[in-house]
Structure 1
Amino acid sequence: MRKIAIGLLAALSLGACTGSPEPAETIFRGINYVGVSVSDLDRSSAFYGDVADLQHVEDSALSDVSVIDALAGREGIRASTRLMKSSNAQLRFMQFENRSAAAKEASRIEVYGPGIAHLCFQVAQKTKTYERFLAAGATPIGARDMAQVNPARPVYYAYVYDADELIVEIEHVDIAALELDTPPENDYRIRHISLATPDIDRAVSFYSRLLDQKKPRRVGNLFSLSGDEFDKVSGLPGTKLEFAWFQVRNLELEIIQYHSHPTELPAEPRPVDALGYNMIVFDVTDLAAAREKLVAAGGTVVSEAEPLDGGQVLFGRDPDGNLLGFQVVTADAVFSSQNFTGDGT
């Protein structure tokens, strides 16, 4: 598989993170995976393997795992999972058995959230990834044609729903228009996982303290981003946006607020077994330090450190209720972010 230079693509993209680098000493080594609850594990893995070039890593089962029971709020949770990777990051697809009534009744997440709203694939335009998404059954959310939000940058955007109505952003980069002297490295990568919030200042404050990144890249905080091209992507008339980005070595966290379409937080957090992006699991070196940082930043602890996947994990929530895992695993474990040498920028 041909590869696109990660650093170059991020620099070209609208929300590329060019904020301050990680401090020399940090407990955060990267992001192990993003959890994705799906209705049909085989269908989802085949779909993303075909259209986004995700590679199979490992299948596993979650059964009689106390920390998963704690997240679900009931005992006897069972799920089949499949870990799949791109060039810089990975997804853990989860098919839960006997989903709760609340999970079954949960509505789809809209582009303005709330919570973990979408995943972004950034790819070479020549791969025709967006066209392959559509051919495989994905549904455009905005205009069918991709939008170029900045005419000075050869980057084109679109949002789609997959079969489970999970939102995927596709970014096509026209490499030929760059006239590069050095051949690119990667054709595919997972660029970011996006959190939609009703209060971007609060979210930025939380993640700045949690991740020790005091000056993340921000766009739209003085004047909201708007215009026809943004409407074409979001499918929403009169879109007005504000962004912030945090680079956690191998994967980017995007914080987004739709000022034009207010996000409302639910009374209770979304069930872990509801269809959608259900967790972000950080790779850390010290669980006690991670817990301290979570609480000091304004988050809450959901479950204390317990065994999972050959390591230890604790879970918490950010001020919007998004589920965050903090996991210690060996560097050679399949779940470890250390399997990726690129920094995602």
Structure 2
Amino acid sequence: MSHHVHDRMTALQAKEYAQQLAFAPIAFQAARSMLQLNLLAELDQAGKQGLSAGQLAEKAGLAEYAVKVVLDMGLSCHIVTYQAPHYRLAKVGYFLLHDDMTQVNMAFTDDVCYRAMSHLTTSLQESRPAGLQELGDWLTIYEGLSVLPEPARRSWFEFDHYYSDKAFPELLRLVFTQPPRHLIDIGANTGRWAAQCCNYDEQVQVTMVDLPQQLVLAMQNMQAQGFAERVTAHPANLLEANSQLPTAGDVWWMSQFLDCFSPMQIWNILRSVYAAMPDNALVYILEMFWDCQKFSAASYSLNATSLYFTCLANGNSRFYRSTEMLELAAEAGFVLVEQIDDIGVGHTLLKLRKA
């Protein structure tokens, strides 16, 4: 976080960056259009030779005006280069076209967040997801995940799964070093982690805890993959005071789950877990903490995604600092056994036990 301590920009650099922010939504949509109209793909295929505006217009079925006006913005965004009369793909354009993380992030931003973000000020003032009205009539996005309109639904799940899936191989090795017999998966979502565990260990039993409507989909997935006999569903809304958790389980798992709640809600959930779990059980919390990232672009992405939580998800959660999560865990009665950073694409695994 040291690069956030001092303002190292000159006045000219700061003013230039301010102008880039002023037009950032237009730059984003220009980049999306270049991708969707296959302009970047055509330039990629053309290689160092490049293509003229006329050649691109013919290949893309566009007017030459359309090609020039959007690609000239691409010049300003370092997406393409130009040496008359040819445009060529630049490095930024290459990553927009070929980098799967960039593609997943852009689709999530465009399909899920873009229109909703016009309500961000209201969300910040009222502590509610005011932008969610752009997708449906729910109090939180989690109530509507299974019925989100397309393409928002596809982009939401691709975004969620991309980051968790990258971490699975190392996580399975870490969690099953001492194989659990019964794993409680809190916030099971579609059941991907439960299925990974069952596939990795033929003996493990899994209990999935989530909202009732989400568990319907998760159990369908377990049935389809042949794990229904080893996986059970435990419906619960952990925000409700009378919500009950299972009382067995030697490993309690929460992956990309606690970031969906406010600090007080996290504390209450951890206290509920503490009260329900056996004294010798372990708790694993998998999260992406913006202060644990090696690259500034990763911290930038996480802080931006925190505003998705503000405006769309629930109005009161975010990607936290690791220190905040550890303080909440300690206040709930847990001690840190181990912290492992840099798992997958920037995940941190916290291993906890009762104090």
Which structure carries more relative contact order (alpha carbon 8 Å, separation 6+)?
A: 1
TM-score range normalised by the length of the shorter chain: under 0.3
Instruction: Return the structure number with greater helix share.
Output: 2
Q: Which TM-score applies when normalising by structure 2? A: 0.23
Q: Which TM-score applies when normalising by structure 1? A: 0.24
Instruction: Return the structure number with greater strand share.
Output: 1
Which of 1 and 2 has greater Rg? 2
